[in-house]
Amino acid sequence: MLIFLLCLQMWYHLSKTLAEEAAWKFVNENNINMITINPGMVAGSFLQPEVNESIEYILNVINGNSYVLVELCCMKILLSPFLIYM
């Protein structure tokens, strides 16, 4: 999965994956309980002036841009081989 994210230069996703791996390593080494929640999409008030990726998908669906569904399906197909090894 990390190689896939590196190849596609998906820096945000890579940072989230590495942070979670580090957290799990820390809790395992220190005998701490931890639960993670990984939502498929997060939407809410903007904290920044630009539209973020999650809101962009919602806006595209609202505006009738059907390529969003194709893009999501393609991403699932691309990720499938990598998910087997996770």
Residue showing tokens 């580090």: 22
C-alpha neighbours within 13 Å on the C-beta side of residue 45: 1
Residue 16 among the catalytic residues: yes
Phi, psi of 10 (to 5 degrees): -90, 75
Task: Express each pLDDT in 47-73 by its tens digit.
Answer: 778 877 777 777 777 887 766 555 555
Predicted pLDDT at 30: 97
**33, 17 contact by CB (below 8 A):** no
Task: Express each pLDDT in 11-43 by its tens digit.
Answer: 888 888 899 999 999 999 999 999 888 777 666
pTM attached to this predicted model: 0.51
**4, 20 contact by CB (below 8 A):** no
Would you state the structure tokens that stand for residue 28, as one six-digit string?
């395992």
Question: Catalytic: which of 8, 11, 16, 21?
Answer: 16
Residue 11, Cβ neighbours under 10 Å: how many? Answer: 10
Residue showing tokens 């595209």: 60
**86, 1 contact by CB (below 8 A):** yes
